[in-house]
Amino acid sequence: MLLRPLMPEDAALYPDFLAEVTAEDLRLRFFAPMREVSHELIDKLIHYDPQHAMAFIAIEEASGKMLGVVRLHDDPDGERGEFAILVRSRLKGRGLGWLLMKHMIANAKDKGLKTVHGQVLAENSSMLLMCSELGFHTVEDPDERGVKVVTLPLNEVPALPD
Ligand SMILES: CC(C)(COP(=O)(O)OP(=O)(O)OC[C@H]1O[C@@H](n2cnc3c(N)ncnc32)[C@H](O)[C@@H]1OP(=O)(O)O)[C@@H](O)C(=O)NCCC(=O)NCCS
């Protein structure tokens, strides 16, 4: 598996990837029922501003298939970043999400951010558990019912297994 920054050419990999992401996983990622991800949204996900955001894609080297993606967008204060993650549904539970999250956290630290945070639906217990194992603190989202906010102060990142 290859882990590298997401590039505009990767738009071509999205249809095959999303074909193997269940509607439920799309809802957990985008917080809304979605039959399919529009070209406009893919375009937006691909064309991020590298000054204020980063995204990493996991690719199966043999087939060139996209396996998962994690992104981090800096808040305007330049001290915090908001992440989001999606893994090909049939590959869930094999450590890919963990790897992507660790990579994103390491890059956020290198970049000098103070915290990373994300919104997670309250029923997304596997993501909440993974975040807690990664050292994130979890609170209710004060603005959105049924949503939790997970935050990791980057000066508190525990030593994590690979
Ligand atoms: C949430 C999501 C990213 C997790 O990815 P994943 O590849 O299934 O996760 P992993 O296999 O890495 O982790 C699963 C488990 O192994 C643990 N784990 C994995 N690798 C580990 C390691 N090396 N050491 C310790 N624990 C590890 C995780 O903590 C987790 O524990 P659990 O199974 O007891 O809950 C994935 O399910 C997904 O894409 N879901 C839909 C979108 C979504 O929910 N996004 C989050 C909101 S933005």
Q: Mean pLDDT, the chain, as a whole number?
A: 95
Q: What digits encode the pLDDT tens for the residues 89-131?
A: 999 999 999 999 999 999 999 999 999 999 999 999 999 999 9
Which atom of ligand 1 is the closest one to the Cα of 83?
A: 48
**Minimum CA distance residue for ligand 1 atom 14:** 93
Cα(13) to centroid(ligand 1), Å:
22
Q: What is the pTM of this model?
A: 0.94
131 lines ligand 1 (CB under 6 A): no
Atom 5, ligand 1: residue with shortest CA distance: 97
pLDDT, tens digit, for every residue of 23-66?
999 999 999 988 888 999 999 999 999 999 999 999 999 999 99
Q: How many CA atoms lie within 13 A of 149 on its CB side?
A: 14
What confidence score (pLDDT) does residue 73 get?
A: 97
pLDDT tens for residues 58-79? 999 999 999 999 999 999 988 9
Question: For atom 9 of ligand 1, which residue has the closest CA?
Answer: 97
Q: Which residues of 55-83 are buried (b: 16+ CB within 10 A; e: fewer)?
A: bbbbbeeeeeebbbbbbbebeeeeebbbb
For 126-157, write each residue's pLDDT tens digit.
999 999 999 999 999 999 999 999 999 999 87
* Closest ligand 1 atom to 124 CA: 44
- CB distance 13 to ligand 1 below 6 Å: no
